[in-house]
């Protein structure tokens, strides 16, 4: 293999594996910046993946090429609805964020598989026909070398996710909504005295994480797994959570961390096709995201960079 | 609103959660045109209606008791050990490996050795999180989640790449362990209709007694409880918060590791590649939350969830209802446990003074001093 | 004419907390453009009054007029709309936000979907220029000093258009230089027509900045003066109140051996600045040494350093001739030190645990309460029953959670536990905080009893009455240093007040 081919292979597979992580971790960033810890991203992704696959299988003939995109949207909506559980429990009912998030993770796989069985009378769906596939940017793909590496046969959802990260970063740091959302996660009491509706902001944070987590799951299912079963989403949501932390609770940081984790993941899968890498046991690539997250947490002395009131219930005084 | 005493309320809230969980399951079944009454009756019928079912139910409860104890100890100390799956998996692989490596060692040496090694493996995994928490303030929820996946992939690697080929049948399954390292007892199994029940249940019952004794009767348990309830007052009273964090996580991991041990040496008699974090970890967490961390609570909750899980298999065959409804019901129960604040509103405590103890992360009322600030004890805050 | 208008009139304000009247008929008038000082001891009811004015609490009875109109300030938004803004003692800031973000939060100027930082910056810079509140709008709160954070709080209030500003103990957290600057800021605000209420118990500040002063004691307004016409002595006397009656019978002192010796002690507070700045003193058996001073002058850090909870930077703590500097709390306790903490619910008790277990929180780990790591609950219960009787703890039984007791009885549990240790040194930090008269008397008697039995007692308190009544020797702490060393018999509260407020200095 020549260098360009190797790089093209690495870049495109990195992008494929990063896309779901970017969407989901962006959701996590919004939830945590509003002050709600969301370890239920895994469960949300599962619901997104499930609903996208069902949509895709049902409507592929109707919508053709648009199907996976619409499927992702459906996944996002289902994820949003599912995340309502977490929002109500933590914001209105004073539930522990970790326990409530764990409930999402406990609930999603059986619920999705139950529904698969109820619909298809078997535990695993068929493979979808309309998947995201590979995309070549018209024009850009013809640029010598660079076009081959970055713009030919690549993952369009990943590029959408990257653009979205920039947009969400902009919203979080440059708009009124973003400022108020962050204030709910930094010092809800101060925010409240300044006239910010903390509950509303926290709902927004959690529901955005539900929507984006659902999309993340959908993208994973429609670009990578191709069908839905109980083992479709295994650790993707937790890896996205790791990306939130590694990215220091910042949309751009989460996006870059997701790219890095996607890179590590793809190496563990395509590594055997590559020189040098093929000699390293795949396990190192597999555990890299998790080990790095722990190291980063230790290096930052734990919680100093998280939003100050992340995970703290805010109970309005009467 | 029902007026009850504080003690009754403590029991009524989980019972209400269980009923509500079953109702959620029923509603979901009804939406998809399954008959919930038929479902639940066939569930209980197959779990408790014959000796094999009872044996399997007890067998299923065995590892859950261990992992639930593990979760409870950490949670008493104020830590959320979400790494039970990884700790259990480490215990499972370690114990099987020890037995496979020493098939001819006398049972009286081999069995204890394998069990202790498994517990040790779990303790080390949890201990890492405890150490990082004590000395670096690293949030244990995140580290234990990450450790779950590190263990998941490492175990796969260790088994497939490091374990001698002679221990394995194929890449994904080890050989069955020798009699000398097994928890299986023939007469017990025969008694319960050839089920996989094994003497792990006796170990689990002993573990429950040990757990009860540790938490209720020893200075160590007292310290763990004190630090979990109020780290500031505990430190002021001369207890070491660091020591207690690490000790409680080590103990927690050891019990979780034992959960994996009984699963390996008892239920399966081998180890096979896991593609997701092992379920006894998550179920143990649910058992502990429902059983509110007490010995009796754990025993009852473990049996209840095992009835659901074993009965669910029967339900699937007999009534044609997908097995997953069981896990949905369990998750729903834990949801109601999580919002116990709301569930608790159903019941009013009789006494006029509603001076309930402060909950983690919540603020409590004025500090008697009129001008004094309300105190807050956030759950994450631990002084060194 | 306008100058003489009352912008605020509060008449007969009463605030009743379950029978305790924190405010019991307070009257207050604030004129436009003036600085009115609210003087009073801790717990006198100043904060309660101001919480009522800023909409955080509703009064039980009384009337509030703002610019001549009767109002009902039922929440902070109403207060804000009336132009009332409060600068809290504990700042309400988001630390990872910039100064600008904190100021505009909730009132953000926008430009389409975007925040209009340019406009916000211009407005804020204009305000800071007008009132001399220079602070970098783009700095993060976590990177600026406390004094600058205070400026941000003031800017926040001004940005919302407040013209009545309440400052709650604003200088408690500032250095002397910062205080000088702050006083200039206050004067500037008043000159621009803002009306200011300044809550304080520092006399020198009142002299420096206020036009008039209202003295509040025990929930009542007891004095109303033009600052120019009143002496420090008069204010100090009014603030601390009635002449202390030495109702407690004190036996003549019988000095025992030296128990505690503190040499050149230096201790840092949480932010890393020195809070105890080279303190030396000693205590013998049979005497009570009182540490008088205003909250925040190093008392917390001193007590924590003596009990092993806080690192000693330099200097030495010797207990019974043993160097116990930077030893663990347990070792210090074991050597013979009892400690009654100021915050009984955070440090003194584990509220969820039964009384019996709280009574052995410091000695559960050895005989007779446990052997080989196993607890003997029978012994703990017997012990509890004995102490409940001996210390008259009002409870149904020893299994009740400590949190269910009244404040006074909670304190009795702590006193019982600590005195039962039979230590040679007893450190009592605010031992009667928030308690009713009966409980106070009881605790005072217990402490005197221990003194008469030859124990060394260090009493740290913000209540001058308590210090005067109990102490054999009084050390006055100001800014982490010894401002004076006096005997209760030869001093009076006025002198103490002056020493505490730093007006008078007398090197011991």
A85 vs C77, higher pLDDT = A85
DSSP character for B117?
H
Q: Give the pLDDT band of residue A281 (cuts 50, 70, 90).
A: confident
pLDDT at B367 over 50: no
Q: Is residue A102 part of a domain?
A: yes
Phi/psi-derived region of residue C67, left when phi > 0, alpha when psi is between -120 and 50, beta in every other case = left
Residue range A207-217: average pLDDT?
Answer: 98
Among candidates A39, A105, A281 on the partner chain, residue whose Cβ is nearest the Cβ of B157: A281
Of the residues C352, C359, C380, C408, the best mutation for testing chain B's interface (the one with the most B CB atoms within 10 Å of its CB) is C352
**E-strand stretches of C32-186:** 35-39, 61-66, 69-70, 84-87, 110-111, 114-115, 164-168
**Is B279 contained in some domain?**
yes
Residues in Cβ contact with B27 at an 8 Å cutoff, skipping those fewer than 6 apart: none
Q: Range of B57's domain? A: 43-319
Q: Between residues 45 and 104 of chain A, which touch chain B (CB distance below 8 Å)?
A: 85, 89, 93-96, 98-100, 102-103
Interface of B with C (CB under 8 A): 217-220, 222, 225-226, 229-230, 232-240, 353, 355, 357-358, 364, 366-373, 375, 377
Question: Who has greater pLDDT, C344 or B250?
Answer: B250
| C-alpha dist (Å) from residue B104 to B111, B180, C373 | 11, 7, 39
Q: How confident is the model at residue B257 (pLDDT cuts 50, 70, 90)?
A: very high
A304 touches chain C (CB under 8 A): no
Task: List subunits contacting chain A, requiring 3 or more Cβ pairs under 8 Å.
Answer: B, C
C contacts of A186 (beta carbons < 8 Å): 94-97
Do β-strands C61-66 and C212-217 pair in parallel, antiparallel, or remain unpaired? unpaired
DSSP assignments along C104-117, one per residue = HTTS--EETTEE-H
In a domain, A305, yes or no: no
How many structural domains does chain B have? 1
pLDDT at residue B355 in the model: 37
Tokens of B165: 């080929």
Tell me: the pLDDT tens digits for B62-97?
999 999 999 999 999 989 899 999 999 999 999 999
ipTM: 0.90
CA distances from A189 to A122, A316, C96, C149 (A): 50, 8, 15, 17
| % pLDDT > 70, chain C | 93
Interface of B with A in 138-177 (CB under 8 A): 138-139, 141-143, 145-150, 152-154, 156-157, 161
In the prediction, which pLDDT does B154 show? Answer: 95
What's the CA dihedral at B154, B157, B158, B161 to 10 degrees? -160
Q: Which of A251-260, C233-242, C294-303 has the lowest mean pLDDT?
A: C233-242
pLDDT at C229 over 80: yes
**Residues B291 and B17: beta-carbon distance below 8 Å:** no
Any idea what DSSP says for residue B85? H
Q: Is B124 exposed, middle or buried (0-12, 13-18, 19+ CB in 10 A)?
A: middle
* Nearest chain B Cα distance for residue A150, angstroms: 30
| Total tally of structural domains belonging to chain A | 1
Q: For residues C154 and C148, what is the distance between their CA atoms, to the nearest angstrom?
A: 10
At C173, which helix (H) or strand (E)?
Answer: none
Q: Choose among C22, C352, C365: nearest Cβ to B219.
A: C365
Q: Is the pLDDT of residue C316 over 90?
A: yes
Q: What is the mean pLDDT of chain A?
A: 90
| Contact residues on chain B for A102, CB-CB shorter than 8 A | 82, 282, 285, 334
Q: What is the pLDDT of residues A223-248, one digit of tens each?
A: 999 999 998 998 899 999 989 988 98
Q: Do A303 and B139 touch (CB under 8 A)?
A: yes
Query: Average of pLDDT values for A131-150?
Result: 85
Q: Write out the two tokens for C228.
A: 């120019």
pLDDT at C412 over 70: yes
User: CA of B334: which chain A residue's CA is closest?
Assistant: A103
Distance CA A302, CA A49 (A): 32
Query: Is B185 part of any domain?
Result: yes
Residue B37: inside a domain: no
The residue with greater pLDDT, C340 or C4, is C340
The arithmetic mean of pLDDT across residues B367-373, rounded, is 26
Least confident of A195-199, C22-26, C470-474, C493-497: C493-497
Q: Give the count of Cβ contacts less than 8 A between chain B and C.
A: 107
Of residues A76, A25, A62, A68, the one with CA closest to residue A249: A25
Do the domains C2-240 and C258-349+421-500 sit in the same CATH topology, yes or no? yes
DSSP B1: -
Question: What is the reported pLDDT for B28?
Answer: 94
Q: For the range A157-161, what are the long-range contacts, defined as Cβ-Cβ under 8 Å and sequence gap of 24 or more?
A: A157/A19, A157/A23, A157/A72, A157/A132, A157/A219, A157/A223, A158/A15, A158/A16, A158/A18, A158/A19, A158/A22, A159/A15, A160/A19, A161/A18, A161/A19, A161/A22, A161/A23, A161/A26, A161/A219, A161/A255, A161/A258
Nearest to B251 by CA among B148, B112, B129, B139: B129
Q: Is residue B114 included in any domain, yes or no?
A: yes
Supply the DSSP symbol for C504: S
Query: Rounded to an integer, what distance in angstroms lies between the CA atom of residue C315 and that of residue B27?
Result: 71
The reported pLDDT for the residue numbered C504 is 67
Classified as helix, coil or strand, A242 is: helix
CA distance C63 to C71: 8
What percentage of chain A reaches a pLDDT higher than 70?
A: 97
Q: Find the CB nearest B220 among C341, C361, C373.
A: C373
CA separation (Å) from C112 to A175, B95, B356? Answer: 9, 64, 49
Cα dihedral across residues A272, A276, A280, A285: positive or negative = negative
Closest CB to A196: pick one of C105, C110, C114.
Answer: C105
Q: What is the band of C216 on the pLDDT scale with cuts at 50, 70, 90? A: confident
Please state, in angstroms and as integers, the Cα–Cα distance from residue B60 to each residue in A154, B47, B65, B72, B252, following that order: 47, 11, 9, 19, 20
Measure CB to CB from residue A242 to each of B146, B276, B286 and give the nearest one.
Answer: B146
CATH code where residue B119 lies? 1.10.3470
Mean pLDDT (whole number) for A288-300? 84
Please report which confidence band the pLDDT of residue B350 belongs to, taking 50, 70 and 90 as the band edges: low
Q: What torsion do the CA atoms of C386, C387, C391, C394 make, to the nearest 10 degrees?
A: -90
CATH node for C258-349+421-500? 3.40.50.300
Structure confidence at residue C490 (pLDDT): 86
Residue C492's closest CA among C500, C287, C453? C500
The minimum CA-CA distance between B103 and chain A, rounded to whole Å, is: 29
Contact assessment for residue C311 and residue C267, using Cβ atoms and an 8 Å cutoff: yes
Residues 6+ apart with CB under 8 A from C477: C279, C291, C292, C293, C297, C298, C299, C302, C483
Q: How many CB atoms lie within 10 A of CB C374?
A: 13
Q: What per-residue confidence (pLDDT) applies to C362?
A: 93
Residues spanned by the domain of A51: 3-299
C349 and chain B in contact, CB less than 8 A:
yes
CATH number of the domain that residue A125 is part of: 1.10.3470
Mean pLDDT of C464-488: 89
Its pTM stands at 0.84
Confidence of residue C434 (pLDDT cuts 50, 70, 90): low
Domain C2-240 sits in CATH 3.10.450.50:
no
Find the farthest-apart pair of alpha carbons in chain A and give their distance in angstroms, rounded.
69
What's the token pair of residue A241?
A: 């959570």
Q: Which of the residues A85, A112, A118 would you substitute to probe the B interface, choosing the one with the greatest number of B C-beta atoms within 10 Å? A: A118
The two three-digit tokens of residue C194, written as one number? 């803002």
Domain for residue B350, yes or no?
A: no
C-alpha to C-alpha distance for C212 and C231, rounded to whole angstroms = 12
- Determine the residue of chain A that is closest to B284 in CA distance: A106
Q: Does residue C137 surpass a pLDDT of 50?
A: yes
Average pLDDT of chain B is 87
At C4 the pLDDT is: 61
Task: Write the CB contacts of A238 (distance below 8 Å, at least 6 apart in sequence).
Answer: A39, A41, A42, B145, B146, B148, B149
- What are the φ and ψ backbone dihedral angles of C61, each rounded to 5 degrees? -150, 170
pLDDT of residue A274: 77
Residue pointed to by tokens 């009965």? B311
- C357 and chain B: CB distance < 8 Å anywhere? yes
Nearest partner of C462 among C183, C32, C172, judged by Cα: C172
At residue A8, what are phi and psi to the nearest 5 degrees? -60, -40
Measure C484 CA to nearest chain A CA, in Å: 40
Q: CA-CA distance, A13 to A266, in Å (whole number)?
A: 6
| Chain B residues 242-271 with CB within 8 Å of chain A | none
Q: What is the rounded radius of gyration, in angstroms, for the C-alpha atoms of chain C?
A: 25
Contact (Cβ atoms closer than 8 angstroms) between residue B183 and residue B259:
no
Say if CB C88 and CB C47 are below 8 A apart: no
pLDDT band at B363 (very low <50, low <70, confident <90, very high): very low
Q: Does C91 touch chain B (CB under 8 A)?
A: no
Please name the residue ranges forming H helices in chain B. 6-31, 36-48, 51-76, 84-101, 107-136, 140-157, 186-191, 200-217, 219-229, 231-236, 241-261, 279-290, 295-319, 325-338, 340-344
3-state SS of C13-52 is: EEEEECCEEEEEEEEEEEECCCEEEEECCCCCCHHHHHHH
Mean pLDDT, residues C111-116: 88
Sign of CA dihedral A176, A179, A181, A183: negative
Percentages of chain A per state (helix, strand, coil), in multiples of 5: 75, 0, 25
Task: Report how far residue B149's alpha carbon sits from residue C63's, in angstroms, rounded to the nearest whole number.
Answer: 64
Q: Compute the average pLDDT of residues B280-286.
A: 94
Classify residue B8: in a domain, yes or no. no
Cα angle B154-B160-B162, degrees, rounded to a multiple of 5: 75
Backbone angles phi, psi at C464, to 5 degrees: -65, -40
Name the minimum distance, in Å, from the CA of C141 to any CA of chain A: 12
Mind listing the pLDDT tens digit for each residue in C53-105? Answer: 988 888 999 999 999 899 998 887 888 889 999 888 778 899 889 999 999 99
Judge contact between C147 and C88, C-beta under 8 A.
no
Shortest CA gap C123–chain B (Å): 34
Indicate yes or no: CB of C401 within 8 angstroms of CB of B364: no
pLDDT digits (tens, 9 = 90+) for C256-272: 999 999 999 999 988 78
Please identify which residue in the block is written with the tokens 């405590």.
B349
Query: What's the pLDDT score for residue A148?
Result: 83
- The mean per-residue pLDDT over the stretch C446-456 comes to 93
Cβ–Cβ contact A279 with C under 8 A:
no
pLDDT score for C508:
42
pLDDT, position B2: 72
Assess if residue B333 is contained within a domain: no
Per the domain annotation, does A255 fall within a domain? yes
């Amino acid at each position: 293999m020549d260098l360009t081919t190797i790089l093209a292979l690495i870049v495109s597979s990195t992008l494929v594996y990063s896309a779901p992580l970017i969407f989901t971790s962006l959701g996590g960033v919004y939830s945590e910046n509003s002050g709600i810890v969301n370890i239920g991203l895994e469960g949300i992704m599962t619901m997104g993946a499930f609903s996208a696959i069902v949509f895709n299988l049902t409507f592929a003939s109707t919508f053709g090429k648009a199907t996976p995109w619409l499927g992702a949207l459906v996944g996002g909506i289902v994820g949003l609805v599912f995340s309502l559980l977490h929002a109500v429990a933590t914001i209105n009912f004073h539930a522990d964020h970790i326990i409530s998030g764990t409930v999402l993770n406990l609930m999603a796989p059986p619920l999705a598989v139950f529904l698969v069985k109820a619909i298809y009378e078997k535990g695993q769906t068929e493979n979808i026909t309309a998947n995201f596939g590979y995309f070549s940017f018209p024009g850009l793909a013809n640029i010598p070398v660079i076009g081959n590496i970055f713009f030919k046969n690549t993952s369009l959802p990943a590029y959408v996710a990257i653009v979205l990260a920039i947009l969400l970063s902009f919203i979080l740091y440059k708009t009124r909504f973003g400022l108020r959302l962050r204030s709910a996660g930094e010092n809800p009491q101060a925010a409240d005295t300044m006239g910010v509706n903390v509950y509303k902001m926290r709902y927004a944070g959690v529901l955005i994480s539900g929507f984006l987590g659902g999309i993340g799951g959908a993208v994973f299912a429609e670009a990578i797994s191709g069908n839905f079963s109980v083992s479709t989403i295994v650790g993707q949501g937790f890896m996205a959570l790791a990306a939130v932390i590694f990215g220091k609770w910042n949309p751009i940081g989460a996006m870059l961390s997701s790219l890095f984790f996607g890179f590590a993941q793809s190496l563990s899968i395509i590594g055997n096709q590559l020189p040098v890498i093929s000699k390293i046991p795949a396990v190192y690539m597999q555990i890299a995201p998790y080990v790095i997250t722990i190291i980063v947490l230790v290096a930052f002395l734990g919680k100093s960079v998280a939003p100050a009131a992340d995970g703290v219930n805010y109970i309005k005084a009467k | 609103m029902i007026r009850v005493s504080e003690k009754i309320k403590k029991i009524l809230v989980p019972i209400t959660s269980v009923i509500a969980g079953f109702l959620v399951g029923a509603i979901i079944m009804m939406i998809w045109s399954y008959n919930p009454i038929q479902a639940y009756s066939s569930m209980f019928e197959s779990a408790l209606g014959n000796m094999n079912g009872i044996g399997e139910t007890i067998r299923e409860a065995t590892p859950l008791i261990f992992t639930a104890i593990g979760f409870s100890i950490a949670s008493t100390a104020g830590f959320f050990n979400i790494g039970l799956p990884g700790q259990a998996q480490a215990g499972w692989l370690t114990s099987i490996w020890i037995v496979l490596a020493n098939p001819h060692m006398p049972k009286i040496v081999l069995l204890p050795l394998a069990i202790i090694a498994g517990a040790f493996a779990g303790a080390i995994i949890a201990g890492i999180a405890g150490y990082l928490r004590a000395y670096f303030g690293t949030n244990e929820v995140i580290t234990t989640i990450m450790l779950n996946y590190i263990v998941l992939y490492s175990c796969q690697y260790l088994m497939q790449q490091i374990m001698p080929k002679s221990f394995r049948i194929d890449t994904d399954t080890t050989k069955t362990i020798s009699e000398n390292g097994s928890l299986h007892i023939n007469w017990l199994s025969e008694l319960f209709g050839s089920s996989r029940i094994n003497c792990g249940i006796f170990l689990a019952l002993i573990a429950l007694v040990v757990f009860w004794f540790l938490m209720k009767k020893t200075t160590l348990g007292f310290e763990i409880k004190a630090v979990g309830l109020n780290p500031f007052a505990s430190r002021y009273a001369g207890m070491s918060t660091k020591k207690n964090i690490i000790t409680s996580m080590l103990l927690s991991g050891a019990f979780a590791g034992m959960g994996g041990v009984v699963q390996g040496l008892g239920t399966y008699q081998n180890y096979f590649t896991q593609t997701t974090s092992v379920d006894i970890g998550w179920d143990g967490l649910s058992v502990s939350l429902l059983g509110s961390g007490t010995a009796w609570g754990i025993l009852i909750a473990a049996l209840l969830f095992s009835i659901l899980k074993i009965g669910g298999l029967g339900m699937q065959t007999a009534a044609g209802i997908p097995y997953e409804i069981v896990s949905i019901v369990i998750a729903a129960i834990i949801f109601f446990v999580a919002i116990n604040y709301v569930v608790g509103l159903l019941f009013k405590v009789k006494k006029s003074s509603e001076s309930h103890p402060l909950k983690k992360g919540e603020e409590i009322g004025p500090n008697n001093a009129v001008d004094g600030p309300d105190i807050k004890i956030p759950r994450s805050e631990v002084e060194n | 004419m306008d100058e003489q208008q009352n912008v605020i009139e509060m008449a007969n304000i009463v605030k009743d907390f379950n029978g305790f009247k924190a405010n019991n008929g307070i009257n207050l008038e604030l004129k436009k453009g003036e600085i009115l000082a609210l003087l009073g001891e801790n717990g006198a009811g100043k904060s309660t009054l101001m919480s009522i004015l800023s909409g955080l609490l509703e009064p039980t009875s009384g009337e509030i007029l703002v610019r001549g109109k009767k109002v009902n300030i039922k929440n902070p938004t109403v207060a804000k709309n009336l132009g009332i803004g409060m600068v809290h003692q504990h700042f309400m800031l988001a630390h990872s936000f910039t100064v600008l973000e904190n100021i505009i939060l909730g009132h953000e100027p926008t430009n389409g979907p975007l925040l209009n930082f340019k406009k916000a910056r211009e407005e804020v810079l204009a305000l800071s220029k007008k009132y001399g509140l220079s602070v970098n709008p783009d700095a993060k709160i976590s990177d600026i000093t406390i004094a600058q954070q205070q400026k941000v709080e003031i800017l926040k209030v001004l940005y919302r258009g407040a013209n009545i500003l309440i400052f709650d103990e604003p200088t408690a957290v500032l250095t002397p230089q910062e205080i000088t600057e702050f006083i200039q800021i206050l004067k500037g605000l008043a000159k621009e027509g803002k009306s200011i209420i300044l809550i304080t118990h520092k006399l020198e500040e009142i002299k420096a900045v206020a036009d008039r002063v209202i003295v509040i004691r025990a929930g009542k307004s007891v004095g109303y003066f033009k600052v120019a016409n009143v002496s420090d002595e008069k204010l100090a006397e009014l603030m601390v109140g009635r002449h202390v009656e030495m109702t407690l019978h004190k036996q003549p002192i019988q000095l025992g051996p030296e128990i505690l010796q503190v040499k050149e002690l230096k201790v840092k507070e949480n932010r890393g600045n020195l809070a105890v700045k080279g303190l030396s003193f000693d205590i013998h058996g049979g005497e009570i040494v009182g540490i008088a001073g205003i909250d925040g002058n190093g008392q917390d850090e001193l007590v924590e350093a003596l009990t092993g909870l806080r690192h000693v930077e330099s200097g030495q703590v010797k207990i019974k001739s043993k160097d116990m500097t930077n030893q663990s709390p347990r070792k210090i306790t074991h050597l013979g030190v009892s400690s009654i903490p100021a915050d009984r619910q955070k440090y003194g008790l584990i509220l969820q645990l039964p009384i019996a277990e709280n009574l052995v929180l410091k000695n559960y780990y050895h005989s007779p309460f446990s052997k080989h790591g196993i607890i003997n609950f029978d012994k703990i219960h017997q012990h509890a029953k004995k102490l409940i009787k001996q210390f008259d703890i009002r409870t149904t039984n020893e299994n009740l959670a400590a949190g269910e007791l009244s404040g006074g009885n909670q304190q009795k549990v702590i006193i019982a536990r600590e005195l039962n240790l039979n230590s040679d040194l007893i450190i009592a930090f605010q031992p009667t905080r928030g308690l009713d008269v009966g409980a106070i008397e009881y605790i005072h008697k217990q402490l005197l009893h221990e003194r008469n039995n030859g124990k060394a007692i260090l009493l740290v308190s913000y209540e001058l009455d308590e210090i005067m009544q109990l102490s054999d020797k009084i050390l006055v702490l100001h800014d982490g240093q010894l401002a004076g060393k006096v005997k209760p018999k030869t001093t009076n509260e006025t002198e103490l007040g002056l020493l505490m407020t730093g007006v008078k200095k007398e090197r011991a």
